[in-house]
Amino acid sequence: MIVSTSPGFGKHGRVPELIAERGWEFITCTDTSKPDGGVSEHIGRADALVVGLVPVTPETLEQGGKLKAVIKHGVGVDNIDIPACTAAGLPVCNTPAANADAVAELAVGLMFSMARWIPQGHVSVTGGGWDRRIGTQLGGKTLGIVGLGNIGKRLAKLARGLGMQVVATDMYPDEAFAAEHGVTFLSLEELLGQSDYVSLHVFGGADNAALINEDTLALMKPDAKLINLARGEVVDLDAVVAALDADRLGGVAIDAYVSEPPDTTHPIFSHPRAVFTPHSGADTKEALENVGLMVIESLDAVLAGETPPRMLNAKELASR
């Protein structure tokens, strides 16, 4: 049996047909009223766990006595306790680059939304108004990409096509890519000071918690816009609200939240220069099919007793 906590797995493109062909018993656990989505009710019978945003904890693994693998339906694995999986002898896999185009394209869409006041214009017209706000063009502006991985690289190419200057910061800078595509690597502090738009594409977790905070926001241009397509904990929302209220930040677009759905009583959700999407960066038919096909490839290997592709703890398991 396959248990999935991802609402997008098994529904797009060829994926449903392939699951049906294999005859897998397949259960989706996405009940938002339960902390684990309902996983605990079925994990004891599961051969594999396909992970969305629900955390995978040692307690989860203790209940999954038949588990053969933990497979992320996506890229970020900060909600998976990989050492606990390794201790349990379970391979952990993900689907790198499968949704890079989708997330990068949403980042561009959010830049246009803020540059041209698109959400506000929609509300004005549908409300019977005619509020024509003066926006700005993206061409000639500087985009700072924090995390130049698969998504960041795709975004860099799209931005260059729009006539933007692109600067980036990354723990492992790909100098060859940067040279080919006209990207300049800077420190985070330099990037924040030079960018008109800052787009976050880093992993979550303790290392990046509150990466954007009162001090780092103070380095940004007062009319700069911030985009968070990473993880909720990467941005200190209280500091963002304070910067917006003081006109030290031009706007913010957020797709990822600490808790999902988020607590909309926070003042950020009523701010007129904030734009929100429901963690939908990877939600295109094409991306969901690509991710699903990669998950099935891993499941096929695991259920056949073979080593799955894209294992994140292969070395650790080999040394046990």
Total domains in the chain come to 2
Residue 54: give its domain's CATH number: 3.40.50.720
User: Taking residues 102-110, what's their average pLDDT?
Assistant: 98
Residue 34 has pLDDT above 90, yes or no: no
180: its two tokens: 């080919």
Please check whether residues 76 and 208 belong to one and the same domain: no
| Residue ranges of E strands in the chain | 2-4, 26-28, 48-51, 69-72, 92-93, 142-146, 165-169, 183-185, 197-200, 225-228, 251-254, 274-276
Residues 249, 307, single domain; the answer is: no
Please indicate, yes or no, whether residues 242 and 160 belong to a single structural domain of this protein. Answer: yes
Q: What's the angle, vertex CA 84, arms to CA 302 and CA 22, rounded to 5?
A: 20
| Arithmetic mean of pLDDT, 37-52 | 95
Same domain, residue pair 203 and 113: yes
Query: Is the domain of 88 the same as that of 205?
Result: no
pLDDT tens-digit profile of 243-252? 999 999 999 9
- State the pLDDT confidence band at 204, using cuts at 50, 70 and 90: confident
Confidence (pLDDT) at 97: 93
Per-residue confidence at 130, pLDDT binned at 50, 70, 90? Answer: very high
**Quick one: 230 and 246 in the same domain?**
yes
pTM for this entry = 0.91
For 260, residues 6+ apart whose C-beta sits below 8 A from its C-beta are: 53, 232, 278, 279
Which residue from 78, 43, 41 is spatially nearest to 60, judged by alpha carbons?
43
Q: Are 249 and 275 contacting, i.e. CB atoms less than 8 angstroms apart?
A: no
Greatest CA separation for the chain: 67
**131 and 211 assigned to the same domain:** yes
Active site residues: 231, 260, 279
Q: Which domain holds residue 29?
A: 2-98+284-318
- Considering the domain architecture, whether residues 110 and 238 belong to the same structural domain is answered as yes
Residue 320: what pLDDT? 80
Measured CA to CA, the distance from residue 5 to residue 268 in angstroms comes to: 28
Q: In whole angstroms, what is the distance from residue 318 CA to residue 84 CA?
A: 15
Which tens digit of pLDDT belongs to each residue from 46-64? Answer: 999 999 989 999 999 999 9
Task: Judge if 257 and 308 occupy the same domain.
Answer: no
Q: How many beta carbons lie within 10 A of that of residue 32, not counting itself?
A: 11
Distance CA 2, CA 43 (A): 9
Residue 205 pLDDT class (50, 70, 90 cuts): confident
- For tokens 């897998």, name the residue: 24
Q: How confident is the model at residue 21 (pLDDT cuts 50, 70, 90)?
A: very high
* Mean pLDDT along residues 284-288: 95
The pLDDT of residue 15 is 96
Exposed e or buried b per residue across 135-173, where buried means at least 16 C-beta atoms within 10 angstroms of its C-beta = eeebeebbbbbbbbbbbbbbbbebbeebebbbbbbbeee
The pLDDT of 25-30, averaged and rounded, is 93
Mean of the pLDDT values across residues 137-155?
Answer: 98
**Claim to verify: residue 194 and residue 262 sit in the same structural domain:** yes
Whether residues 76 and 152 fall in one domain: no
Reported residue count of the chain is 320
| DSSP tag of 226 | E
Q: Looking at the structure, do residues 106 and 85 belong to the same domain, yes or no? A: no
Q: pLDDT at residue 93 above 90?
A: yes
Q: Residue 263 — very low, low, confident or very high, per pLDDT cuts 50/70/90?
A: very high
